[in-house]
Structure 1
Amino acid sequence: MNSVDPSPEDATEPRLLDHLLELRARLMRGLAGLLIVFVALLPFAGRLYGRLAAPLLAQLPAGTQLVAREVTSSFSAPVKMVFLVALLTTMPWLLYQAWAFVAPGLYQREKRLALPLLASALALFYIGCAFAFFLVLPAVFDFLIRFTPGIVAVTPDPSSYLDFVAVLFVAFGLSFELPVALVILVLLGWVTPAQLRESRGYAVVGIFIVAAVITPPDVVSQLMLAVPMCLLYEVGILAARWLAPRPDLPAA
């Protein structure tokens, strides 16, 4: 009796199905963790939003409150803020699910490099968000309030304020990833640390352009983003020099 060997296409289909099932399981676990934290934080929505609005309220006259100009703003703004906090809180869990899905396909050397880079990227994102909240927001609101004419009453809308803060969080969080991005470019062989040093002047100009585009239209937030990015560019060069493979050493 003749046996028929399975074709490569038939052998590939079960592996593809296994990968899709694994991807679905990881997505479901990540979303479940996000949903659990979101529901757990909902009862504290008012308190959390008050903490988020503290940098603005500290610059306004005593007793000033945010004014909801839309019917749903008083409800939607705290709920969106809780989702933002839940997303930031569960980011390590979400990244772990992505790592657990990708890691089996990586070589040992790739794992040794990818895991520290992933942890560094997460830490830098949190540092960027903290920098925006504790330093940038108070400075920006102090600048804006000082230049507001006395006949203008500052009564921000809750949703507009949340959007403003979220944009700053994303801008500073992603911008603080610059050292990790430079290290990845060097590890991929697209640039060298020497080329990064030689392009320092162009990089500074590009950083100020990016800061002007992604931050609100005030000079304070633009400078408070551009200056740290210039310093982080130097940190990225140092990290790339340390991690870049040396041509005189054999590959692992």
Structure 2
Amino acid sequence: MALTLRRRGPTKFQQAADGSMTLIEHIRDLRNRLFWASLGIVAGLIVGFIISKWVFHQLEQPYCSLDTSWQLNPKTGQLECRFLVLGVGDQLILRLKIALWVGLIVGAPVWMYNLWAFIAPGLHKHERKWAYVFVAIAAPLFVAGAILAFLVVKHSLAFIMDAGVIGGTTQLEVTKYTSFVTSMILLFGVAFEFPLILLMLNFTGVVSARRLVSWWRIVIFLSFAFAAIATPDPGPFGMTLLAACMTILYFAAVGVAAINDKRKGRGKEIYADLDDDTISPLEDDRVPVGASDPIDGPTPIDAPEPVAKPRPLEGRFDDMT
């Protein structure tokens, strides 16, 4: 009994890459990608709702580490870490918000894969390679920024409580506190992606490492200005630490850009050391004129052929012309 192997046709990725996929097929592929991405987010949302209490317990650690956050429970006679709740549905809404954040993180492999699978066919092979590298660097940088922000919140809360006019026992409203912590985590995580922008400009040949170094005064000033405006922490600790981290990451990106320029040989071009206004010198490349080759004598030209006598004028046109 003979077995025949069925030859598979090109995949959707190959069809999209070589341009053989029609517009309707692109739209259908986008619909399928959005469907699977939505399923990933919904699955992550369910997981986030289940572990939302544990996540909130982790978020409240900076607040509960302060002595001013503990209140005496008259029923049990023990100290408890308490928040203020102003609205009836604030606790449920807060739990749904935490579940959504966790769902986006848990479902990230699914929706990011479908997003990448839809965009990647339109990129060249080397562009896809660099995209993998930058994504692999971006994820640890974001996590590092989030962890640093979580540590900053503790010191920021301590400064705010000590510098306040009320003093003593102080309770915070739960939704505003959670918004404060998540904003700090998101801000630090996004700010840590700043060196990737500089590296993308350098790797694509837009700017060189020498040009990036010349921007150090502007970068330091903008880092402190951005930290002062964007940081929800009114104290100087979080702002200074964020600006200092952005400055350190900037100089690290400049170092990587310098290595990349050296690897590609940038800055060693012929006219790299010349000013743009410098006049280029004219080289004197005169060639002495020697004896010319002998010239042959003129060749005779044939006599012209006789020209035919023109036809009479009335015979060259018909009745219409």
Deviates more, 1:154-163 or 1:55-64: 55-64
Query: Residue 86 of structure 2: SS of its match in structure 1?
Result: coil
Detail structure 1 runs of 4+ shifted over 4 Å in the superposition: 150-153
Give, in angstroms, the shift of residue 247 of structure 1.
Answer: 5.0
Q: TM-score scaled by structure 1?
A: 0.85
Cα RMSD of the aligned pairs, angstroms, is 2.2
Q: 1:235 to 1:23 in 2, by over 3 A?
A: farther
Other-structure match for 1:72: 89
Give, in angstroms, the shift of residue 176 of structure 1.
Answer: 0.3
- 2-side partners of 1:218 and 1:206: how far apart? 18
Aligned counterpart for 2:51 among listed residues 44, 47, 61: 44
Aligned: 1:246 with 2:253: no
Q: 1:108 to 1:129 in 2, by over 3 A?
A: same
- Partner amino acid, structure 2, of 1:223: T
Give, in angstroms, the shift of residue 175 of structure 1.
Answer: 0.3
Other-structure match for 2:196: 180
- 2-side partners of 1:247 and 1:24: how far apart? 45
Contact 2:49 2:98 (C-alpha < 8 Å) held by counterparts: no
| Consecutive unaligned residues in structure 2, runs of 5 or more | 1-18, 71-79, 269-321
- 2-side partners of 1:53 and 1:219: how far apart? 22
Contact 1:57 1:64 (C-alpha < 8 Å) held by counterparts: yes
Matches within 5 A, 1:137-148: 137-148=153-164
- Partner amino acid, structure 2, of 1:192: S
- Partner amino acid, structure 1, of 2:23: L
Aligned: 1:81 with 2:98: yes
Q: 1:85 to 1:41 in 2, by over 3 A?
A: closer
- 1-side partners of 2:118 and 2:222: how far apart? 35
Matches within 5 A, 1:210-221: 210-216=226-232, 217-221=234-238
Q: TM-score scaled by structure 2?
A: 0.68
- Partner amino acid, structure 2, of 1:175: A
Deviates more, 1:219-228 or 1:39-48: 39-48
- 2-side partners of 1:110 and 1:243: how far apart? 16
Other-structure match for 2:148: 131
Matches within 5 A, 1:99-114: 99-114=116-131
Aligned counterpart for 2:39 among listed residues 32, 35, 47: 32
Q: 1:173 to 1:92 in 2, by over 3 A?
A: farther
Aligned length in residues? 237
Aligned counterpart for 1:189 among listed residues 182, 200, 205: 205
Higher relative CO (CA 8 A, sep ≥ 6), structure 1 or 2?
Answer: 1
Q: 1:143 to 1:234 in 2, by over 3 A?
A: same
Give, in angstroms, the shift of residue 96 of structure 1.
Answer: 2.2
Structure number with larger C-alpha Rg: 2
- Partner amino acid, structure 1, of 2:245: P
Query: Percentage identity across aligned positions?
Result: 25
